[in-house]
Amino acid sequence: MTTSSTSAASPTTRVPTTSREQPRGSAFNRAHLRSTPGFYRRAWYQFRQNKIALAGLILSALMVAFVLAAGIIANITGHTYWEGDLADQFIAPFSPGYLLGSDGNGRDVLVRAAYGGRISLTVAGLASLLLLVIGTTVGAISGYFGGFVDSVLMRIVDVLLCIPGLPLLILVFSVFTPGPYMLAVFIALLGWAGGARLIRGEVLSLRKRDYVEAARVLGASDSRIIFRHIIPNVIPLLLVSLSLALPGLILVEATLSFLGFGVQIPIPSWGNMLENAREYFTRSWANVLIPGLFIYMTVLSISLVGNGLRDALDPRLSR
Amino acid sequence: MTVYIIRRLLICIPILFGVTLLTFLIVNARGNPVADLALNPRYRAEDIERIRSSMGLDEPVLVRYGIWVSAVLRGDLGLSLSNNTPVRDRIFDVLPNTIVLTGVAFLAALLISIPLGVISAVMRNTWFDHIVTVGTVAAFAVPAFWLGLMLILLFASQFREWGLPSLPVSGMVDRRGGGDLLDRLSHLILPVTALAIADLAGWTRYIRSQMLEVVRQDYVQTARAKGLSDRIVLFGHAFRNALLPLVTLMGLSLPGLIGGSFIIETVFAWPGIGRLTVDAARASDYTLIMGAVFIASVLTLLANLLADIAYALLDPRIRYG
């Protein structure tokens, strides 16, 4: 269950449900319209009305542009992310040559933040995609077929949901020391359970809809029903979950790297830049402030986009 | 009700078995842990073999799992690999500290978010509401450990520089002559702030929207139409029902709070289960990490159980049995 809501969530789009169950199907259900192109056009229109979400989208785009431009920034400043000049230790931000200052090894914080952000966003993005693929597959199988398969899969979900995420990841990464890509894979492998449960609930309610029954009566195969009739109707929910999972995963990567269990030096990430800055804490507060601000701005802007998407795509989810 | 609680407890048993199996398999996925000894020329092959069998590592994985689980069932979590003390003692020595930290954070978030949420719903679209809304959106996204670091920087170094009173930033008590209630409370302020901020923001938003939704319900309109005062309608009718889903939400946030305490404890040098685990992981003390993950999962299950029971008690519409 998501807890967030912005002031922009207009109360008129909310469908009050007193029961916690998913509403059962009717021929004129809204979900029926979801997969039509007009649905997305209308959602985009609604999203654009939401100024806060739009600001979030612009800020996220700027952040992505910044990390993609890491190479260009490195060229302009003439600094790399791994080489430092020990004569240039702890330079304050906004100094000539070092826009965001330098760290304890005399490395340019701006260049490191750009490369570090690239790693952080790649890990979080890859993890969230994988997580949704696994979650959707498991959720769809579980919700569609039900019975024994469903109960086995849901017990696995129960187990994964009851272990607090961070301790489990610390355990895994004390055993393995993976590179950035495998890090994302591991995070996804342990984090898909919540998404699977969400999708399962949705599929469970879609499965009983009249149009699915109709498709079955017409002789459609299971895979055709799942891929042609159910998945398209789950996509809005997936988009919302993706945009709401991403900020959380950026935080997970940052936390792990900060503790020394995530992205390993010399590869920079916003998390291990903070770990590095912590060692000479009192010498330079800017080194602690800057990577954290990057994490904060990114997480904030993406969650604003997520909230806007949720309000635009699935009014029932907004609270 | 008793039947419901017993059934809920029974469901926990297979889940906990799943937890032990998963953690055991993860730790064993690395293969033979003594193999690295072969790199040391001073170990002979037969020595390595002897060490391996003395640790029970020549048994098949499932047999070893059985041995470990049956020990866990008897309350024995094994010996810590780094100093041979029982894992159970090491965890239970620090567990109360973690419970104090998360408990105070939980209470703080609760006591602040309820009035904030209710007032901003009542004062909808006033400056107060706007400030609360912006503040909660901004606070929800703050990385907790970074906030902790910034608080330490601010209170430990900047405030001292400016001549302002500073707050303690590490540990639970002052090493020199501390230990009274005031000292303990002052050590709690910063870690609790960093730990509670996300839940505080999330809950406030939730309570606000929940209140707004309940206020539109028919029975609230009826109460108002009867001529009851705003205060009675608000607290007697609306507030009680708005709180109901919050119970579930709080149960759901507890795992996050327990997980969050792992990093906050590390940042603030708080001697709890989180810091113990992080230190254990740095020292590759697998038995200790496995024990800590197990205990953290038990805590999570208990928290969820309590939330479910509270929900069933509070909402007569829930059918249990």
Does the distance separating the beta carbons of B278 and A170 come in below 8 Å? yes
Alpha carbons B28 and B122: distance in angstroms, whole number: 56
Q: For chain B, how many structural domains are there in total?
A: 2
For residues B57 and B163, membership in a common domain is answered with no
Contacts of A269 in chain B (CB under 8 A): none
Confidence category of residue B108, pLDDT binned at 50, 70, 90: very high
For residues B49 and B193, membership in a common domain is answered with no
For residues B103 and B252, membership in a common domain is answered with yes
pLDDT of B50-83, one tens digit each? 888 877 777 788 888 888 888 888 888 888 888 8
Q: For chain A, how many structural domains are there in total?
A: 1
Mean local confidence (pLDDT), A109-137: 91
Does the distance separating the beta carbons of A3 and B206 come in below 8 Å? yes
pLDDT of A258-304, one tens digit each? 998 888 878 889 988 888 888 877 777 888 888 999 999 999 999 88
Confidence category of residue A11, pLDDT binned at 50, 70, 90: very low
Task: Report if residue A215 sits inside a domain.
Answer: yes
Output the six-digit token pair for B285.
């003390």
- In 3-state terms chain A splits into helix, strand, coil percentages (rounded to 5) of 70, 0, 25
Could you give the percent of chain A with pLDDT greater than 90? Answer: 24
Q: Does the pLDDT of residue A34 top 80, yes or no?
A: no
ipTM attached to this prediction: 0.85
Mean local confidence (pLDDT), B118-139: 88
b/e map B247-283, b = 16+ CB within 10 Å? bbbbbbbbbbbbbbbbbbbbbbebbbbbbbbbebbee
Task: Report if residue B36 sits inside a domain.
Answer: yes
Predicted structure pTM score: 0.84
Q: Which of A28-32, B34-38, B210-214, B215-219 is predicted with the least confidence, judged by mean pLDDT?
A: A28-32
Task: Report if residue A141 sits inside a domain.
Answer: yes
What angle do the packed helices B181-215 and B144-152 form, to 10 degrees?
A: 140
Give CA separation, B97 vs A310, B49, B78, B151, in Å. 39, 41, 22, 21
Task: Report if residue A107 sits inside a domain.
Answer: yes
Confidence category of residue A186, pLDDT binned at 50, 70, 90: very high
Does the distance separating the beta carbons of B304 and A162 come in below 8 Å? yes
Task: Report if residue A19 sits inside a domain.
Answer: no
Task: Report if residue B88 sits inside a domain.
Answer: no
**C-beta separation of A67 from A114 below 8 A:** yes
Residue type for position B142: V
Domain of A302, CATH number, reads: 1.10.3720.10
Any CB–CB contact under 8 A between A189 and chain B? no
Residue of higher predicted confidence among B308 and B111: B111
Contacts of B302 in chain A (CB under 8 A): none
Contacts of B51 (CB under 8 A, 6+ apart): B34, B37
In this prediction, residue A187 carries a pLDDT of 92
Residue of higher predicted confidence among A77 and A124: A124
The residue among B43, B73, B103 that closes a domain is: B73
pLDDT of A132-170, one tens digit each? 999 999 999 998 888 899 999 999 998 888 888 888 999
Cross-chain CB nearest to A166 (options B217, B259, B282): B259
For residues B64 and B126, membership in a common domain is answered with no
Instruction: Measure CA of the first residue to CA of the last residue in chain B; give whole Å.
Output: 7
Most confident by average pLDDT, A6-20, A118-132, A195-209: A118-132
In this prediction, residue A12 carries a pLDDT of 37
For residues B69 and B113, membership in a common domain is answered with no
Most confident by average pLDDT, A78-92, A185-199, B300-314: A185-199
Output the six-digit token pair for B103.
């408990």
For residues B35 and B112, membership in a common domain is answered with no
Contacts of A36 (CB under 8 A, 6+ apart): none
**C-beta separation of B172 from B290 below 8 A:** no
Task: Report if residue B84 sits inside a domain.
Answer: no
Contacts of B137 (CB under 8 A, 6+ apart): A4, A6, A52, A300, A303, A304, B201, B205
**Can you give the residue range of the structural domain that contains A233?**
44-317
**Can you give the residue range of the structural domain that contains B210?**
95-315
Q: Counting runs of H as helices and runs of E as strands, what totals does chain B give?
A: 13, 0
For residues B20 and B105, membership in a common domain is answered with no
Instruction: Return the closest-CA partner of residue A317 out of A236, A260, A248.
Output: A236
For residues B160 and B247, membership in a common domain is answered with yes
Does the distance separating the beta carbons of B133 and A254 come in below 8 Å? no
Alpha carbons A70 and B65: distance in angstroms, whole number: 48
CA B154, B155, B160: angle at the middle one, nearest 5? 100
Task: Report if residue B118 sits inside a domain.
Answer: yes
Q: Does the pLDDT of residue A112 top 80, yes or no?
A: yes
Mean pLDDT of all residues belonging to chain A? 81
Instruction: Return the closest-CA partner of residue B117 out of B38, B207, B240, B222.
Output: B207
Output the six-digit token pair for A133.
């693929």
Residue of higher predicted confidence among B113 and B235: B113
Task: Report if residue B53 sits inside a domain.
Answer: yes
Does the distance separating the beta carbons of A259 and B278 come in below 8 Å? yes
Chain B, residues 271-300, CB within 8 A of chain A, namely 274, 277-278, 280-282, 284, 286, 289-290, 292-293, 296-297, 300
Task: Report if residue A33 sits inside a domain.
Answer: no
Give me the count of residues in chain B: 321
For residues B68 and B168, membership in a common domain is answered with no
In this prediction, residue A13 carries a pLDDT of 39
Q: Does the pLDDT of residue B321 top 50, yes or no?
A: no
The region that residue B315 occupies, defined by phi over 0 for left and psi between -120 and 50 for alpha, beta otherwise, is beta
The residue among B24, B40, B73 that closes a domain is: B73
pLDDT of B167-218, one tens digit each? 777 777 776 666 677 888 888 889 999 999 988 998 998 888 888 888 888 8
Task: Report if residue B80 sits inside a domain.
Answer: no
For residues B65 and B114, membership in a common domain is answered with no
Cross-chain CB nearest to B289 (options A162, A170, A278): A170
Q: Does the pLDDT of residue B135 top 80, yes or no?
A: yes
Any CB–CB contact under 8 A between A214 and chain B? no
**C-beta separation of A262 from A173 below 8 A:** yes
For residues B308 and B159, membership in a common domain is answered with yes
Task: Report if residue B273 sits inside a domain.
Answer: yes
Task: Report if residue B214 sits inside a domain.
Answer: yes
Q: Does the pLDDT of residue A5 top 60, yes or no?
A: no
Domain of B236, CATH number, reads: 1.10.3720.10
Task: Report if residue A38 sits inside a domain.
Answer: no
For residues B31 and B178, membership in a common domain is answered with no
